[in-house]
Structure 1
Amino acid sequence: MSTRFDPSFYRRFYKNPRTRVTTREEMSRRANAIAGLMRYLELPVKSILDAGCGLGLMRASLLRSFPGATYTGIEVSEHLCKQYGWTQASLAAYRPARRFDLIVCYDVLQYLTDRESVRALANLGRLCRRGLYFHAPTHEDWADNADLSCSDSDIQLREANWYRERLDRNFSHVGFGLHVRRGVAFAQWEMEKPAEKRL
């Protein structure tokens, strides 16, 4: 896995303006949205885990939003770990001695097998103290949302409910990809909840 994510992978999907799948600006907006939701729900953040952090495009915005918070980036790419100083680890096997107030897991699990993904999702439940932002492209996204001209097609596509069923074991989904660990107190107006939570 670590050899797959070599310099050419990041040049193609993140650095080359003609072939990249996202931009620094988009990732900054995403980080600001995550931080805004955590603050709105009054969930304090002193520690952040960016699981599969890649180039670390959300790091600066997250740290600006949560002054004094620690940021840990984990990544399987040996190349990126050497370049940016991330911890080389797979989310399926990562076992730090601490938990994190906020975990960001953006576009990671589509690169893992089903068995690895199940372990990674269970690990998110162990590692997360308060909030989890989770995103992975699904079968539904591939049909309706993904820009197939630049998206990496060498991935594991699963139904959205495959992820939801496993996330629901440890988290409550509050919308826009943010999940709050079960047992953590927070207030949310009824009309702010995702539709499936209102049924």
Structure 2
Amino acid sequence: MTSRAEMTVRASFIAAYTRHIGCPVASILDAGCGLGLMRESLLRALPGATYVGLEYSEYLCNRYGWVQGSLASYRPRKPFDLVVCFDVLQYLDDESAEKAMRNFARLCRGVLFFSALTRRDWRENADQSRTDRDVTMRTGAWYRKRLTKNFRPIGAGFWIRRGAPLVTWELESVG
């Protein structure tokens, strides 16, 4: 469970880092947006950008105006400059999570900000009294193996779409 304040800080960080690496952001996909807690902060920090909230829950889509759909099968007309997928894929089974990660390549032409609860995070980092345990626990390696097919990790949850003309310095990147 994440607070609005935490999501505001996270959204500001995402916007600042995409600017730092020179990624112009005209379009944002918040994949599995839930209540849309990052929407206002992302749009404030990335003026002029459009925001699409993608959510599976029909109730949340009706209430907040999000696009209803599955991350595994969503097909927009064109890819987004920035895709945010924060703590969503642990709620999917392995097959659906793999399809979703393959779909990231179609959805994102620039930067992907990705996070998911891992087994290690559950053991070492999560406040288990307030973290949902009814999820599919996977290793970080499981996610990295699938993401690196189409993205290059640059640290802190950021991944650059392979082929995107963005510069990151060696010591500011992972690996």
Q: Under a length normalisation based on structure 2, what TM-score does the superposition of the two structures give?
A: 0.98
| Secondary structure at 1:183 match in 2 | coil
Larger Rg: 1
Aligned to 1:43: 23
- What is the one-letter code of the residue matched to 1:57? L
Aligned to 1:151: 131
The answer to whether residue 103 in structure 2 is matched with residue 129 in structure 1 is no
The farther-off stretch of 180-189 and 32-41 is: 180-189
- 1:96 Cα shift? 1.5
Q: 1:31 aligns with which of 11, 14, 20?
A: 11
- 1:95 Cα shift? 1.2
CA distance in 2, matches of 1:49, 1:104: 6
- What is the one-letter code of the residue matched to 2:13? A
- What is the one-letter code of the residue matched to 1:180? I
Shift >3 Å, 4+ stretches: none
- 1:60 Cα shift? 0.5
- What is the one-letter code of the residue matched to 2:167? A
Q: Under a length normalisation based on structure 1, what TM-score does the superposition of the two structures give?
A: 0.86
- What is the one-letter code of the residue matched to 2:30? D
- What is the one-letter code of the residue matched to 1:94? Y
Query: Over aligned residue pairs, what C-alpha RMSD do you find?
Result: 0.8
Unaligned runs of 5+ in 1: 1-20
CA distance in 2, matches of 1:22, 1:101: 25
Aligned to 2:32: 52
- 1:118 Cα shift? 0.7
Unaligned runs of 5+ in 2: none
CA distance in 2, matches of 1:157, 1:181: 25
- What is the one-letter code of the residue matched to 1:167? L
Aligned to 2:171: 191
Q: 1:76 aligns with which of 53, 56, 60?
A: 56
- 1:130 Cα shift? 0.3
Percent identical among aligned pairs is 54
What count of residue pairs does the alignment treat as equivalent?
A: 175
The answer to whether residue 88 in structure 2 is matched with residue 108 in structure 1 is yes
| Secondary structure at 1:154 match in 2 | coil
